[in-house]
């Protein structure tokens, strides 16, 4: 299992000054930033696109961009995000497209790969891809909006993914996203999760160093 990693979600940052929100993360010496990309089709919301990531790079942000594509046609947007400075690109299993080819394309462009499951998608749906990814993201809310309640029923799915990871000596990160705070992260950690996306709870935390320290100690 990887060391616990707090991964703040830019979606909950200040959209009039996203570079300042990213700098808050850098100042805490947290290495990752979760970037939520929404298309208004796969999820009923819009967020930002590759130009936002490129602008953050131009503003000097060096964080590892964990780019979560909530898109019906993610395969059409791999190049723009890789060019914009994404480090890892994760794609959902639910829409119909060439998943394997898309993961190969992400890797060919020099990025790490992730596969994502919605709360109601069973673990078995991503089982054939586990050896090809650097990260598996088990959504703990229905994607589309920040600030929703954690779905506790997902912990058993996390446990299943962790069992496959261990039994097959795989090394992918096991990420959770949605409704994560210190308490819900602990429940996920007990199931085997190691990478914790936190939007609302991170940006609302009044003592961010203490918040980050609680995750580091998980
Ligand atoms: C939800 C996004 C999440 C979101 C999480 O569709 O994928 O990354 O930012 O927000 P919180 O932490 O507020 O649930
Ligand atoms: Zn996300």
The CATH number linked to 208 is: 3.20.20.70
Catalytic residue among 36, 66, 181, 194: 36
Angle at Cα 115 formed by Cα 184 and Cα 139, nearest 5°? Answer: 25
Is 177 close to ligand 1, i.e. is its CB under 6 Å away?
yes
What's the pLDDT at 88?
A: 99
Is 30 close to ligand 1, i.e. is its CB under 6 Å away?
no
| Catalytic status, residue 72 | no
| Catalytic status, residue 36 | yes
Structural domain tally of the chain? 1
Cβ neighbours, 10 Å, residue 199: 24
Distance of alpha carbon 117 from alpha carbon 133, whole angstroms: 13
Could you tell me if 58 and 27 are in contact, meaning their C-beta atoms sit under 8 angstroms apart?
no
The whole-number mean pLDDT for each consecutive block of 10 residues of the chain, a chain of 218 residues, reads 96 98 98 98 98 98 99 98 99 98 98 98 98 98 98 98 98 98 98 98 98 98
Give the structural domain span for 149: 5-216
Is 117 in a helix, a strand, or coil?
strand
């Amino acid at each position: 299992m990887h060391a616990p990693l707090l991964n703040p979600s830019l979606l909950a940052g200040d959209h009039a000054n996203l570079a300042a929100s990213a700098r808050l993360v850098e100042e805490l010496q947290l290495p990752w930033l979760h970037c939520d990309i929404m298309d208004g089709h796969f999820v009923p919301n819009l967020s930002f696109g590759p130009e936002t990531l490129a602008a953050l790079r131009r503003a000097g942000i060096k964080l590892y961009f964990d780019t979560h594509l909530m898109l019906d046609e993610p395969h059409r947007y791999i190049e723009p995000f890789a060019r914009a400075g994404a480090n890892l690109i994760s794609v959902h299993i639910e829409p119909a497209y060439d998943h394997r080819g898309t993961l190969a394309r992400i890797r060919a462009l020099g990025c790490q790969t992730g596969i994502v499951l919605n709360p109601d998608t069973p673990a078995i749906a991503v089982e054939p891809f586990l050896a090809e990814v650097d990260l598996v993201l088990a959504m703990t809310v229905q994607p589309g909006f920040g600030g929703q309640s954690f779905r506790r029923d997902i912990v058993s799915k996390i446990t299943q993914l962790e069992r496959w990871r261990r039994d097959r000596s795989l090394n992918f990160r096991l990420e959770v996203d949605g409704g994560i705070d210190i308490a819900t992260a602990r429940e996920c950690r007990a199931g085997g999760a190691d990478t914790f996306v936190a939007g609302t709870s991170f940006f609302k935390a009044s003592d961010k160093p203490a918040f980050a320290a609680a995750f580091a100690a998980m």
